[in-house]
Chains A and B, each alone.
Chain A
């Protein structure tokens, strides 16, 4: 087995780069982070002919090598550092046949770094419909490279691409445009000072504000007596570079590309007349949101009921099959209900990711950015904040990261600060179970009341996010100037494979990430709930038995013993300690415990209650039924009433209960100041709102 070929996949956003990556690697891929920063790193293994393998790195989408965001920095840092273990043996630049001109800008830049570079022209299946014809031979000759005509959608051309990767050594490393034509005198001096380096690489070191492992741009000046230019001169040169590159590309495409406009049909403009319309655009956007939330609620109820009953019987089965003892109890009362509390939400989370990835894949998300920009700006946000806010409905962590695309620092910071208000999938379990308990399952104007409540909660999350953005915009005194530009890509039918991989990957990482925390917490909780200090716990049976007369039936007595034990266990003692703080909100100490453990992660709530309730109980009941049977210790009557339910929903809507989000915010803002402010302000606000809600409604 020989060495793997290192391949970097580079390209503009919206060129189908990820589709090509998925075709090359299949499910043989993993998603991680670049060390120290939170840019998503996607890599995979591709099997080549003759038993060889290639390691494929899917670099973040970028329009050029002039970086203006962290994501783009990643690309440049890798391409300039020969010592990086991922440094490409061969770069594969993915372009879209319809935007070849713009995509070639990046290609010529990469090519000038003197790395073997293959050009992939993707979406070749659209050529005929668009009246495009290409002269590949001319293009290959002019660009000094190999071109693979690919349709990731139809899975054509991928084998040829693999063959080219295999034979990458035959590709010329000669630049197609020499950087020195920008300013011959300047580059002449640069060449003299550094005779052995690629000129374009030196140019990037001078102009880009990124960290390099072995080249320090300030050292460039002092060590060699070479003097660089002022910043505004450099900027002018960068613009000149762009114009020169486009001139080169225009000349090239005049020979190599023909477009017959008569046979071209552009659905984009026709769709956009409606989808970005100043009235219909908003109506349609709102309908789409409504549809998504109704679907999440209605479609997933079947698999959820199934999972629920499966876990209950699994727990029963373990109890029957394994020898009695603390270990069996730990598994059947602690771990299985705890895990069941998370597995049950897989259907909903998967549906949510499914819709989000369809919105992104189809190109519709850019239209939403366009529609919302002006409105969002009034609140100190950007149209691009819509993407974090919408993906925040899946999870705040990728959402905070998605805020990176916002060029303006103030708009970006505000987005990061308010994103945790949007209803993430971890809140979903809590919402669903509480809604099921306190909102009647009836129809109102043809809509399911429970579904409507859920939608209201989502709107409440967005509303609060936007209101607090407005407030922050008034309070924060940050001056930052920048511009806003977004591509409106052509509409595409989402590819099943891309959507499927996205849903599987995201759901998997959600379940594994949350699963670990839940598993740990349910074990701790089970121990705390199953043991207690002193005689009141250990002699529970005698104490309870002596308190009751002989009329009490045996099962009642058993229940009383279990309740007594729980009350005097460690967790009962802690819970009753915090009870005074949660009683005014309409909760008992068990919910108090669930809230406290939720500060690790919200989705722990249901698992916690499941664990607390199953301890000592033999009945095969679902969590929901157990919760419905709970009695309010102070007021009497059911614990989960409309008032306490709403109070709890509001608490979870507003409180900052997620350690991972806090950690990400710290990384993205580079200070603990913002996450700590989020934690304190959001949680205090949640408490006050929940308090008012319960006191008014009860």
Chain B
């Protein structure tokens, strides 16, 4: 199974891997969600959705369905 942002536990960090460009919304890239960047799960709402992330200093919340699109490597 591929590891994605949606699989992170609270406080856990990962590095964003190359992703399938067509699926990722441009807006997410513009807000700093780029390959090679560090991502940390800060907080989740009930049912782990949405997820509150710290991506290289950018604090964002995205839905689980979007988080499933971002592949990571744990560190």
Write the residues of chain A forming the contact surface with B, with a CB cutoff of 8 angstroms. Answer: 63-64, 66, 68, 98-99, 101-102, 105, 232, 235-236, 238-239, 242-243, 246, 268-269, 272-273, 276-278, 366, 369-371, 373-374, 383, 482-490
Number of B positions contacting A (CB below 8 A): 33
Identify 25 residue pairs between A and B in the complex whose beta-carbon atoms are under 8 Å apart, listed by A's number.
A63-B27, A98-B57, A101-B58, A102-B32, A239-B24, A242-B30, A268-B59, A269-B42, A272-B52, A273-B43, A276-B45, A278-B46, A366-B61, A370-B43, A373-B49, A373-B50, A374-B46, A374-B47, A383-B50, A483-B62, A484-B50, A486-B61, A487-B59, A488-B59, A488-B60
Q: Which of B54, B60, B65 contacts A486 (CB 8 A)?
A: B60
Q: Which residue of A lies closest to B49 (CB)?
A: A374
What CA separation (Å) do A588 and B45 show in the bound complex?
A: 50
The verdict on A64 contacting B30 (CB below 8 Å), with A273-B43, A371-B45, A485-B25 known, is yes
Flag B33-63 by CB within 8 Å of A: 1 or 0 each: 0110000001111110110101011111111
Write the residues of chain B forming the contact surface with A, with a CB cutoff of 8 angstroms. Answer: 21-22, 24-32, 34-35, 42-47, 49-50, 52, 54, 56-63, 65-66
Contacts of B42 in A (CB 8 A): 269, 272
Contacts of A366 in B (CB 8 A): 61
Contacts of A278 in B (CB 8 A): 44-46
Decide: A370 and B50 in contact? CB cutoff 8 A. yes
Q: Which of B25, B28, B50 contacts A374 (CB 8 A)?
A: B50
The verdict on A487 contacting B43 (CB below 8 Å), with A63-B27, A239-B21, A242-B30 known, is no
The 8 closest A-B pairs by CB, nearest first: A488-B59, A64-B30, A242-B29, A483-B25, A370-B61, A484-B63, A276-B43, A278-B46
Main secondary structure on chain B at its contact with chain A? mixed
Decide: A242 and B22 in contact? CB cutoff 8 A. no
Contacts of A102 in B (CB 8 A): 30-32, 58
What CA separation (Å) do A370 and B47 show in the bound complex?
A: 12
Decide: A66 and B43 in contact? CB cutoff 8 A. no
Contacts of A272 in B (CB 8 A): 42-43, 52
Decide: B22 and A232 in contact? CB cutoff 8 A. yes
Nearest-neighbour CB distance to chain A for B65, whole angstroms, equals 8
The verdict on A66 contacting B60 (CB below 8 Å), with A272-B42, A483-B66 known, is no
Contacts of B61 in A (CB 8 A): 366, 369-370, 373, 484-486, 488
The verdict on A242 contacting B26 (CB below 8 Å), with A373-B45, A485-B31, A485-B66 known, is yes
What CA separation (Å) do A239 and B29 show in the bound complex?
A: 7
Contacts of A371 in B (CB 8 A): 45
Q: Which residue of A lies closest to B23 (CB)?
A: A483
Contacts of A383 in B (CB 8 A): 50
What CA separation (Å) do A99 and B55 show in the bound complex?
A: 12
Which of A99, A269, A485 counts the most chain B CB atoms within 10 A?
A485
Decide: B59 and A373 in contact? CB cutoff 8 A. no
Decide: A370 and B52 in contact? CB cutoff 8 A. yes
What CA separation (Å) do A246 and B54 show in the bound complex?
A: 17
What CA separation (Å) do A246 and B60 show in the bound complex?
A: 18
Decide: A235 and B50 in contact? CB cutoff 8 A. no
Nearest-neighbour CB distance to chain A for B19, whole angstroms, equals 10
Contacts of A66 in B (CB 8 A): 26-27, 30
Contacts of B30 in A (CB 8 A): 63-64, 66, 102, 105, 242
Contacts of A483 in B (CB 8 A): 25, 27-28, 62-63, 65-66
Decide: B27 and A485 in contact? CB cutoff 8 A. yes
What CA separation (Å) do A319 and B13 show in the bound complex?
A: 76
Contacts of A235 in B (CB 8 A): 21-22, 26
Contacts of A490 in B (CB 8 A): 59
Nearest-neighbour CB distance to chain B for A182, whole angstroms, equals 14
Q: Which of B35, B44, B58 contacts A99 (CB 8 A)?
A: B58
Nearest-neighbour CB distance to chain A for B50, whole angstroms, equals 5
Nearest-neighbour CB distance to chain B for A239, whole angstroms, equals 5
Contacts of B34 in A (CB 8 A): 242-243, 246
What CA separation (Å) do A242 and B37 show in the bound complex?
A: 14
Nearest-neighbour CB distance to chain A for B13, whole angstroms, equals 13
Identify 10 new A-B residue pairs, CB closer than 8 A, beyond the known A68-B26, A370-B45: A64-B30, A68-B27, A102-B58, A239-B29, A243-B29, A373-B45, A483-B27, A483-B63, A488-B59, A488-B61
Decide: A99 and B57 in contact? CB cutoff 8 A. yes
Contacts of A486 in B (CB 8 A): 60-62
What CA separation (Å) do A369 and B45 show in the bound complex?
A: 11
Q: Which residue of B lies closest to A275 (CB)?
A: B43
What CA separation (Å) do A98 and B57 show in the bound complex?
A: 8
What CA separation (Å) do A482 and B46 show in the bound complex?
A: 21
What CA separation (Å) do A482 and B25 show in the bound complex?
A: 9
Contacts of A276 in B (CB 8 A): 43, 45, 52
Contacts of B57 in A (CB 8 A): 98-99, 101
The verdict on A373 contacting B43 (CB below 8 Å), with A236-B21, A485-B27 known, is no
Q: Which residue of A lies closest to B43 (CB)?
A: A276
Nearest-neighbour CB distance to chain B for A66, whole angstroms, equals 6
Nearest-neighbour CB distance to chain B for A123, whole angstroms, equals 14
Contacts of B66 in A (CB 8 A): 483-485
What CA separation (Å) do A278 and B32 show in the bound complex?
A: 26
Nearest-neighbour CB distance to chain B for A440, whole angstroms, equals 39
What CA separation (Å) do A99 and B57 show in the bound complex?
A: 8
Contacts of B29 in A (CB 8 A): 239, 242-243
Decide: B60 and A487 in contact? CB cutoff 8 A. yes
The verdict on A63 contacting B43 (CB below 8 Å), with A99-B58, A239-B21, A483-B25 known, is no
Q: Which residue of A lies closest to B29 (CB)?
A: A242
The verdict on A488 contacting B52 (CB below 8 Å), with A99-B58, A239-B21, A268-B59 known, is yes
The verdict on A487 contacting B31 (CB below 8 Å), with A269-B42, A373-B63 known, is yes
Decide: B32 and A101 in contact? CB cutoff 8 A. yes
Q: Which residue of A lies closest to B66 (CB)?
A: A483
Decide: B26 and A485 in contact? CB cutoff 8 A. no
Contacts of A374 in B (CB 8 A): 45-47, 49-50
Contacts of B28 in A (CB 8 A): 483, 485
Nearest-neighbour CB distance to chain A for B53, whole angstroms, equals 9
Decide: A239 and B26 in contact? CB cutoff 8 A. yes
Q: Which residue of B lies closest to A109 (CB)?
A: B30
What CA separation (Å) do A68 and B28 show in the bound complex?
A: 12
Decide: B60 and A63 in contact? CB cutoff 8 A. no
Nearest-neighbour CB distance to chain B for A353, whole angstroms, equals 26
Contacts of A488 in B (CB 8 A): 52, 59-61
Decide: B52 and A485 in contact? CB cutoff 8 A. no
Contacts of A98 in B (CB 8 A): 57
